Amino acid sequence: YELWINNLIIDNNELYNQIVKVLRSKVGDEFLFFDWNEYFDYKYKIIQIEKRHLILNFIEKIEKIKENIFLTLYQAIPNKIDKIEDIIEKWTQIWYSKFVFFNSRRSQDLFLSENKIQRFKNIIKESTELSQRNKNPEIIFEKKLDLKNISWENYYFHTENQESNYLKNIDFSKTNYNLFVWPEWWFDDIEVKEFDINN
């Protein structure tokens, strides 16, 4: 796309097709655009539809709410690829800032190719756009969770230890949180002991 005075000219084939053929947009429809860097939305209205490009007129610049809470999800790798897709799609919309998927002792042994990881990133991007956020959550895959190098006060759920923290106990005056989610068959005894050792 190209910005020209107060007009936005879109001649990118993929974006043009999405707006005109997929969304079936018409003259007068409004869109929000953002650049992934600033906490602003830019509202434009379609004023002309040509065969290979669109012309939109600038309406206003809107300041977005800044993300002042950093949420990291530490998720044991589930037993199916589509569960990973569901997790990142829904939790991106909830406002999570980072995903760390790790192999727990009871995780399934899934093969994650570069193509699959790229698909996960595309899902995150689409969910970010749908929820009108400005920043894509980071996604990381770890072979093993290193509890010693995790910073901030950590929240997790295991009912065997009365020292565990629960959502109802979270102090929202802080700004950084970690949430740990176990695999389908729960953390095993060795992993629970590792949580205890690392407080």
Instruction: List, as one string, the DSSP characters of 154-196.
Output: EE---TT-TT---GGG--TTS-EEEEEE--TT---HHHHHHHH
Confidence of residue 49 (pLDDT cuts 50, 70, 90): very high
Mean pLDDT, range 82-97, rounded to an integer: 89
Residue 117 has pLDDT above 90, yes or no: yes
CA atoms of 120 and 171, how far apart (whole Å): 31
Helix axes 114-130, 81-94, angle to 10 degrees: 30
What pLDDT sits at residue 71? 84
What pLDDT sits at residue 41? 83
Residue 141 has pLDDT above 70, yes or no: yes
What pLDDT sits at residue 145? 83
Two tokens at 103? Answer: 């192999």
Residue 11: phi, psi to the nearest 5? Answer: -125, 10
Mean pLDDT, range 116-134, rounded to an integer: 88
Bridging pattern class, strands 70-76 and 98-102: parallel
Two tokens at 87? Answer: 């997790």
Q: Would you say how long the chain is, in residues?
A: 199
Give, rounded to a whole angstrom, the gap between the first and last alpha carbons of the chain. 51
